[in-house]
Amino acid sequence: MAGPAALSIDDLFVFMLVQSAFAVPRIYARRVLLYGITPGAPHRHLAALRDGRTYSPME
């Protein structure tokens, strides 16, 4: 995933912290991460449409 849908390293770090805090088993870690990331792209695009602007990946 590149461009506006890309996650930054600190976002992934937060996902890792949450997964370790809730003791998510390793076999489910990838699925939990996917379920956490998937809604992010549409929500970001909806926010951009609502605000009437687009976001640069460098913002």
User: pLDDT of the chain along its 59 residues, tens only?
Assistant: 445 445 667 777 888 888 889 998 989 888 888 887 788 778 877 877 777 666 566 55
Give the model's pLDDT for residue 11. Answer: 76
Residue 33 CB partners (closer than 8 Å, separation 6+): 15, 19
In a domain, 42, yes or no: yes
Asked, for residue 57, whether it belongs to a domain, the answer is no
Residue 22, domain member (yes or no): yes
- Inside any domain, residue 59: no
pLDDT for 29 = 86
Number of domains in the chain: 1
Answer whether residue 56 is part of any domain.
no
Domain range enclosing 32: 3-51
| Rounded Cα–Cα distance for residues 33 and 7 (Å) | 12
What local confidence, expressed as pLDDT, does residue 7 receive?
61
Q: How many CB atoms lie within 10 A of CB 40?
A: 12
Give domain status of residue 29, yes or no. yes
Is 27 among the domain residues?
yes
**58 in a structural domain:** no
Q: Which residues contact 5 (CB under 8 A, 6 or more apart)?
A: 40, 41, 44
